[in-house]
Structure 1
């Protein structure tokens, strides 16, 4: 007998697909309404109206700004470009991954009549593609596009153009390094790791594979040898000398861990916990800077925070404090919650904002924030929506949430009429950039076809 639980699971899958379609379409409709309200008056701004709407969406949904922008675009695609496919999606007959493939492979079609033909054909066939892979769906859509509008075919990128190196957290003080590189460069890299791994003495306790992994740091620092771990003062391999470099990483740890009196792990922001023993090994070679405690951080006279105050704010916050944003400290600005000079330079009035959210707060009216002495933040949207944010550093080290002093909240000065002139601008508006890319790719397809006419 067919299990009722399996039937339920299939029904839930269809419901999940339909819910995804409804969410995307709702975002697409909201985007259209908001863009009309804003009037597209800031096309040349780095943070243009689309980016502002993406900030609103991301903040309300608690997701990343880039994901919000992508889903807004998907919603507009379902509404404006592929309405028949939207019906299939809403019925639960289309996977989200398949939709993104279809949207990407039809993005170069600019003639509405031709797009309508492709939409009809794809919508008719898509329910039968459920069990197919995303790549196979892309191939099937390409086949339809090639028949209807050959200039709109998305030529697959050459493998060489896709080379990349990714470094992602793997937990327990480890990370995965995965990538694709030029074959000759990869061969040199491979041999160099082998060479460094062999510079230790025979008593080194690590396997050759472990030494190759450890050689990554020596290679990055420009060292000519790998530090041997045999523990002997008479080691014939000598020491690993590395020139002083400009690459800096920050690891947070309790003083007791560094001194060997605690096994509390350290934290490498973005990568997670670092075992205490590894922290001590790193500390032996690194410059250790104590993070000042709140009572030692008084009000400062100038606009730019001192190094001590900046260290504390970055350690306490770890990431951009805008609700839903996870931009790391190293790419975030230190923002005065109440703008300086009305607001003082003090840990209770400073926190991290990534550049985009910093620009939104500075140049768009309506957004406001209130900071508590423990680093907590209340963000208020132009629509009066309230979002609460707490500093990430304090989740790992509660002492970083100690109260830094209750300030009398000053009134922020009104914006000056010429404030917008200081906003960084784009080389070309977003819509023009998209039209340019589409026209260029279609022209390349046309030139390729003219140079190699059928039969191929």
Structure 2
């Protein structure tokens, strides 16, 4: 176990060092990208995402960790590379030293490298305290300031188990109280014979609240139910479910797909399709002839949406609702057809467009929607449409792709890239400066309070 643990740490350190080296290379290569919206961090994250089949968020987090570790804590990185500490220790060290002044971080790094191996047994709380103690020795203003609780509020809605979703978060107390009362009020609109538990009624009330309904449909099954009022809706809410016709008809139990949440059991699909407000719309395979305009027609966009389901970049699972439709070969040289169109999220669309050309990203598309991407390193990655994998009828070749060579991108193409007001490093330094100033003020206030307490309790000698 010990040998395997050390080998794991060495392997992670080696991987992060490779990411940091790649960032150094790309930073020299893409000098003009510092103020680009999709900057060098995003460009390197795209390569990390493709190489490791990670989401954009996880790849970006890895880039930030690797660059910070090898630029700010190289001595700690060397201890990590020997397998003497693990990734947890590295993350804590980076987090607690993030605000340390650049002129001081080298000395602190050397001190941490000498002591950090003895802290592996510490709990998260004890480890935080020990790291903060060493930061305070070298740079008192660099000790992290806990964020205000109000700044950490959030509300997540995410896929959970099959056909279910998780909803949870931290809200302002008055908002949470209003939500709690609204759920209770909706849950109370059913009759006493409704078979659901109180928790189940509150959960179902959340759905009714999302649809803007003022009452919850009772499930007692009685024709004389006193709660059988007509439900009203204050908002027009639309959800999209993809399923085979046999699933809707009941002749098949193949699951469907709820956009943004994943696979949906067949019985859930039929329940949704059986509602009075449900609209059933067939997904039609595009005609063989490409369309003439730049923008795809509504039926073609509908087909592309269900064929792809997510961004087509390797590792990216951004839903199509937040993606752009991209011509694989730039229009008008490429075709406006399912064989020549696919979805990229905005970041990967910009990377494909602006980090392309000789030595950059290149992509090609097959008639069945398969995308073949070649990275700047020459590595080749293939992605199949997610909808086509779940529903094979959507992965059939739609039309042959005519040969077309688009001219090279003009040298002034970079002028069209969306720009940042400040670089990523400038944003980081501004955040650190704000937090350091908070720490200085907190330290000054603590010193003032201590001196006031000493003055109030001090008794001069009797002579």
For structure 1, the 5+ residue unaligned runs are: 1-8
TM-score, reference length from structure 1: 0.92
Partner Cα distance (1:424, 1:76) in 2: 24
- 2:402 aligns with 408
Q: Aligned to 1:279, which of 269, 279, 286?
A: 269
C-alpha RMSD of the superposition: 2.0
Within 5 A, what are the aligned runs for 1:186-265?
186-243=176-233, 245-265=235-255
- 1:277 is displaced (CA, Å) by 2.1
For the Cα contact (< 8 Å) 2:41–2:63, is it kept in 1?
Answer: no
Within 5 A, what are the aligned runs for 1:54-453?
54-112=45-103, 114-243=104-233, 245-283=235-273, 284-294=275-285, 296=287, 298-366=289-357, 367-453=361-447
Partner Cα distance (2:280, 2:362) in 1: 34
1:382-414 CA distances to partner (integer Å, 9 max, x unpaired)? Answer: 333211110111121111111111121211232
TM-score, reference length from structure 2: 0.91
- 2:27 aligns with 35
Query: Using a 3 Å threshold, how does the CA distance of structure 1 residues 291 and 133 change in structure 2: closer, same or farther?
Result: farther
Partner Cα distance (1:59, 1:135) in 2: 36
Query: Using a 3 Å threshold, how does the CA distance of structure 1 residues 136 and 438 change in structure 2: closer, same or farther?
Result: same
- 1:420 is displaced (CA, Å) by 2.2
Partner Cα distance (2:349, 2:229) in 1: 46
1:69-115 CA distances to partner (integer Å, 9 max, x unpaired)? Answer: 32223222332211221122112222212211110110111243x22
- SS where residue 333 of structure 2 aligns? coil
For structure 2, the 5+ residue unaligned runs are: 451-463
- SS where residue 41 of structure 1 aligns? helix
Query: Using a 3 Å threshold, how does the CA distance of structure 1 residues 342 and 238 change in structure 2: closer, same or farther?
Result: same
1:28-49 CA distances to partner (integer Å, 9 max, x unpaired)? Answer: 12211221233x2122211123
- 1:255 is displaced (CA, Å) by 1.7
Partner Cα distance (1:155, 1:208) in 2: 41
Larger displacement relative to structure 2 (97-106 or 57-66): 57-66
Partner Cα distance (1:72, 1:409) in 2: 38
- 1:6 aligns with none
- 1:443 is displaced (CA, Å) by 1.9
- Which portions of structure 1, spanning 4 or more consecutive aligned residues, are displaced by more than 4 angstroms? 295-298
Partner Cα distance (2:255, 2:93) in 1: 46
- 1:295 is displaced (CA, Å) by 5.0
Count of aligned pairs between the two proteins: 446
1:291-314 CA distances to partner (integer Å, 9 max, x unpaired)? Answer: 433254642121111111111111
For the Cα contact (< 8 Å) 1:224–1:240, is it kept in 2?
Answer: no
